Amino acid sequence: MTPVRPEHEHGSPWFRATNLPEPEPEVPWPYAGPGTPGGGEGTPAPQPYADAAWQPQQHAVPPGPLPTGPAPTDPAPAPVVPDDETMALRTEETRRIAAGPGAAGAPSHRSAADRPATGGRAERRKAAKGRGRRRKGSSPAPAAPPQDPGRPLTRVEARRAARARKDSVGVVASRVVGEVFITFGVVMLLFVTYQLWWTNIRAGLEADEAKKGIENAWAEGRKPDAFEPGQGFAIMYIPKLDVVVPIAEGINKEKVLDRGMVGHYAEGQLKTAMPSDKQGNFAVAGHRNTHGEPFRYINRLTPGDPIVVETQDAYYTYEMASILPQTPPSNVSVIQPVPQGSGFTGPGRYITLTTCTPEFTSTYRMIVWGKMVEERPRSKGKPDALVG
């Protein structure tokens, strides 16, 4: 076919595209022989354009002489002839692909048995047998439809959800046991805090108040004929331990000892002498732990350490003589006029300090003894043990 010439030739800028013919299909050039698309033996080579003065760009002829002689050809591959079973499988696969996933009869997904076999003839037969067994057997249970979150639950579904949210008996029991243990631990912590901290603060305040009451009574010149239980009448000083504690009548726990004071043995068979007596054993008791703990560190006293008792009339100074680290509470011989185990051999003016041991228990008693070395009227001032 001869192309139509444009209206303006030889480089004219004006070019009418409407005069151009439709592009023709590309033909292999310079010849079409065996092994080329659309070519064969004896196929004539395409002819160049009739007018060599003008050639379209898409059919530009490369410069240089044309090749001569027959073109090299590649050996044609041997045709593969599929058997009947392969052709049937390919036809079925082609039909399913053409039907698409949404078509009737076309499954949305295929199992391994539905996929076409790509191996040899034996593998294809096994795949076909697997499809037959699956069709004969029972079909799998259909999956539950997805739950629509906006749809209200039925009564059965609501009951099932409520049972699923309900805790089991084991969970409830373990939760109750855990809460009991936590409550018990908190109570124990509060009790320990009360015993070791708050009782000391409260007893210290009450002991200071009792000491001031005793000093005020001395200043006013009051001199009771007899001391009532729980009434303070003297003050004890232990300089080495930095102890200043009031002494009250009796060893009652609630009225005397728990209020941070030291109690004087003055009841029944446990009645002991007073400091002003010319002979006897002045015995007192006090807490070692909690409630002010005035006798907590009396085990640190050594022989010769002073213990001073101040009354309305005088100062009585004792020197520590001996200590009994442990004895049963029933051993009352330690507070006798001549205490047993103290090392004293005859009557004299003695002092005995008793407290519980070991610490934070009341299983045994610790005993400390002392002997009076000085009686000094208050009008002469404080003894040397208190001046320094």
> Is residue 261 in some structural domain?
yes
Burial class of residue 258, CB neighbours in 10 A (0-12, 13-18, 19+): middle
DSSP 3-state of 201: helix
> Is residue 210 in some structural domain?
yes
Bridging pattern class, strands 243-249 and 262-264: parallel
- Catalogue the active-site residues: 287, 356, 365
d(CA 38, CA 95): 30
> Is residue 186 in some structural domain?
no
> Is residue 127 in some structural domain?
no
CATH code for position 300: 2.40.260.10
> Is residue 77 in some structural domain?
no
Q: What is the pLDDT along the chain (388 residues), one digit of tens a residue?
A: 444 444 444 444 444 444 555 555 554 444 444 444 444 444 454 554 444 444 444 444 455 555 555 555 555 555 555 555 566 666 666 666 665 555 544 444 455 445 555 556 777 777 777 665 555 555 555 555 555 666 787 888 888 887 777 778 888 888 899 999 999 999 998 888 888 888 999 999 999 999 999 999 888 887 765 678 888 999 999 999 999 999 999 999 999 999 999 999 988 889 999 999 999 999 999 999 999 999 999 999 999 999 999 999 999 999 999 999 999 999 999 999 999 999 999 999 999 999 999 999 999 999 999 999 999 999 999 999 999 7
> Is residue 331 in some structural domain?
yes
> Is residue 66 in some structural domain?
no
Nearest to 284 by CA among 330, 220, 236: 236
Domain count, the chain: 1
| Helix or strand holding residue 162 (H, E) | helix 155-165
> Is residue 338 in some structural domain?
yes
Tell me which residue range forms the domain holding 251: 204-387
The whole-model pTM stands at 0.57
How far from 104 is each of 99, 267, 283, CA to CA, in Å?
8, 111, 111
